Structure 1
Amino acid sequence: MGDHSIISAILLGIIEGITEFLPISSTGHLLIAEQWLGQRSDTFNIVIQAGAILAVTIIYWQRLLSLLIGWRNPENRSYAGKLILAFLVTAILGLVVKKLGFRLPESVTPIAWALIIGGLWMIAAEKIAARRPESSHVSWTVAVIVGLAQIVAGIFPGTSRSGATIFAAMIFGTRNRAAATEFAFLVGIPTMYAASAFELLSTIKDGGIGSEDWTSLGIAFVVSTITAFIAVKWLLNYIQNNRFTAFAIYRIIFGAALLGMVTVGWVS
């Protein structure tokens, strides 16, 4: 394993950790990074994503534990039930999408447009949500909508899973940013673990892990976990007193920059 491989693993781990749970699209950033750092295997992408999920699991371990051991509490049962419902909506529709043979785009242009449109959507959604009464309640309707939002984000890379789910929750009743973010992130934990496990098993079945550089994988996993932990902690503190507008503006600028890079041939 050379120095270049180590540096690439570190950089990709940092990018994944920062962008996976911030509403700015990890797919778009990783796709660009791979154009310059070299394309990585499916296993590598699964591993760095798993690192990001682990970070969020660590952050929310007390909340998850309280839901598990406090099932006798009606409020905990209801909340856990909504998490399960949102996960099932995503899982069932996700399998349907897989059966239909849907494949993610590997070119930059559609992702750039998704970033721009998603940024405009975030600005509009924030304004719509601001007109709703303040509420931290997660309804069964919100649970279904969040499950659907995860599918939309999966079908259209660049949308951002976290952005789609947080704003879906806010528009459909969970007006409080912190409450909407918590539900979106908690739903993302089983969803992303399941998706990563499914992809990893498929890769193993196809014999795609025999030539992996396990040292690079390990480094990227650790870097992704640490970076995601810091990024999510920062985000949870940031949204206490700030809107998501800055992320929306960043998405629009980044998406426009990507279209410009495609035009001049810097990326394909």
Structure 2
Amino acid sequence: MDYIQAIILAIIEGITEYLPVSSTGHMIIASSIMGIDDQAFTKIFEVQIQFGAILSVIVLYWKRFIQSLDFYYKLLVAFIPAAVIGLLLNDYIDMLLENVVVVAVMLVLGGIVLLFIDKVFEGKPQKDDINYSTALKIGFFQCIAMIPGVSRSAASIIGGMTQGLTRKSSAEFSFFLAVPTMFAAAAYKMLKGYMDGNLSFNNEEIKLLIIGNVVAFIVALAAIKFFIEFLQKYGFKVFGYYRIVLGLIILGMLGMGYDLSV
């Protein structure tokens, strides 16, 4: 992996992590097109630059993170389902992640859901307040995203909307919930890599990781602001079409013999 490839992957991470389009699918296509063959470091890089994306939420919504302990209690409640299920099914989830067909199919199916999701909730009462019961239910919805290609953002936002939250409130809580969820997942994989003796970087790789985190942080800031405004005005349909096209591209590339192994 060179610096240009690292920057491109970081830009993709920053853009797609909080949009309901699945960062996994984008990483698969980008890595394949760029011919990145250092899979061991690439996997670590893609996990580690999530810390930059996490920091963007904290910086952008810093006032929400210092307002009250109740805010953290609700995040904890919402985080518990993913923590428990993630630990229990970690090996199975990793196995699914290596199945690119699963990623592509879920992109298409998730896209179809997004095409109609606005209609489903149109005209229904909406609220901004999140109680503990709502937080827990959103947490369970987030677990659906353990199937690669579903999109953590899409699952948790739709989960919020099923509980009567507005699009904005659902999206923002999804961003907040990403902080403990992504941090725990990334930290766990980094720790596992360290325990297995696979986590060691040379000077060049350390520079790539620093650049990747900085770029992911900056791009994620812009992506979050864009997404909130776009979602309030236009809804999910555009993202639905985009997911379907992306999933079909992956399936098409597989059909033509491209190696999209992750």
Alignment TM-score > 0.5, same fold:
yes
TM-score normalised per structure 2: 0.90
Call closer, same or farther: CA 1:137–1:211 in 2, change over 3 Å: closer
1:53 is aligned to 2:54: yes
State the shift of 1:87 in Å: 0.9
Q: What is the rounded CA distance, in whole Å, between the counterparts of 1:205 and 1:223 in structure 2?
A: 28
What SS does structure 1 have at the residue aligned with 2:21? Answer: coil
Aligned match of 1:246: 238
Describe the shift of the 1:128–1:141 C-alpha distance in structure 2 as closer, same or farther (beyond 3 A). Answer: farther
SS of the residue 1:164 aligns to: helix
2:169 pairs with 1:168? no
Q: CA RMSD in A?
A: 1.9
Partner of residue 148 from structure 2, selected from 113, 136, 157? 157
Q: Which moved more, 1:11-20 or 1:258-267?
A: 258-267
Match for residue 195 of structure 1 among 169, 185, 194: 185
User: Are residues 1:236 and 2:228 paired?
Assistant: yes
Mind listing any 5+ residue stretches in structure 1 that lack a counterpart? 72-76
Aligned residue type for 1:43 = I
Separation in structure 2 between the aligned mates of residue 107 and residue 220 of structure 1, nearest angstrom: 25
- Is 2:261 the counterpart of 1:266? no
Q: CA deviation at 1:190?
A: 1.0
Q: CA deviation at 1:55?
A: 1.0
| 2:27 match | 30
1:267 Cα deviation from its structure 2 partner:
4.2
What is the deviation of 1:36? 2.6
Query: For residue 13 of structure 1, what is the amino acid of its counterpart?
Result: A
Structure 1, 205-214 or 243-252: larger mean CA deviation:
205-214
State the number of aligned residues: 254
Which sections of structure 2, spanning at least 5 residues, go unmatched?
Answer: none
Please give the per-residue CA displacement for 1:96-145, whole angstroms capped at 9, x wherever unaligned. Answer: 21276753332422111100100111223222121421222324333222
Q: Tell me the TM-score normalized by structure 1.
A: 0.88
Q: CA deviation at 1:211?
A: 3.9
What's the counterpart of residue 74 of structure 1? none
CA distance in 1, matches of 2:97, 2:66: 38
* Residues 119 and 248, structure 1, Cα contact 8 Å, conserved in 2: yes
The C-alpha deviation readout for 1:198-240, integer Å capped at 9, x for no partner, is 1111111112222441111111111111111111111122223
Task: State how 1:44-123 maps to structure 2 within 5 Å.
Answer: 44-67=45-68, 71=69, 77=70, 79-98=71-90, 103-123=95-115
Post-superposition, which runs of at least 4 consecutive aligned residues in structure 1 deviate over 4 A?
99-102
Q: Render the CA deviation track for 1:77-110: whole Å, top value 9, x for unaligned.
A: 3x54322211112212222212767533324221
